[in-house]
Amino acid sequence: MTRNIFRVLLALFYGFAGYRHLVDPAPFLSITPDWVPAKAFVVAFTGWAELAGAAGLLQPWSKRLRRAAGIGLALYALCVWPANVNHMMMYLDGTIDGPSMAYHGPRMVAQPLIIWLALWVGEATDWPLRRKTRAAAGMGGSV
């Protein structure tokens, strides 16, 4: 039950973010590192990737597709981390105005949690929430 709630919440988060990437790409373009080629294409592609991942998490008929969506969104969160770091660095060096460290600090800490959450809600991992059994604890049998 809890996993399903977080699956829906994460899908809504990624669905909204994907929508924002497509309808208003300017903020995302502004924080994309300079070394990224074809920035407009990359921002649009990431928007579509977020929408596809959200749809994959929400579909009810295939655990394999939900798992693939979770893995894809985890990889996505890892790949966009440089843009998040770049955004924070731009704020720190005064290149842009915007959210303070009260936003950027938790965002940097949350990124690994978002990666894990995508894997967990997609059922690619149960760590560290799996139910312990006697066999797993070396006691034989299951609880």
Task: For residue range 73-95, list pLDDT tens digits in order.
Answer: 999 999 988 888 888 888 888 78
Q: What is the pLDDT of residues 7-37, one digit of tens each?
A: 999 999 999 999 999 999 998 898 888 899 9
Domain boundaries, the chain: 2-121
Give the rounded percent of residues in the chain with a pLDDT score beyond 70. 91
CA distance 12 to 114: 13
Residue type at position 132 = K
In the chain, alpha helices (H):
2-23, 26-31, 39-58, 63-79, 81-92, 101-121
Model confidence at 115, in pLDDT bands (50, 70, 90)?
A: very high
How far is Cα 96 from Cα 15, in angstroms, rounded to an integer?
A: 26
The Cα–Cα gap between 120 and 70 comes to 7
Cα 49 to Cα 69: distance, rounded to the nearest angstrom: 10
pTM for this entry: 0.82
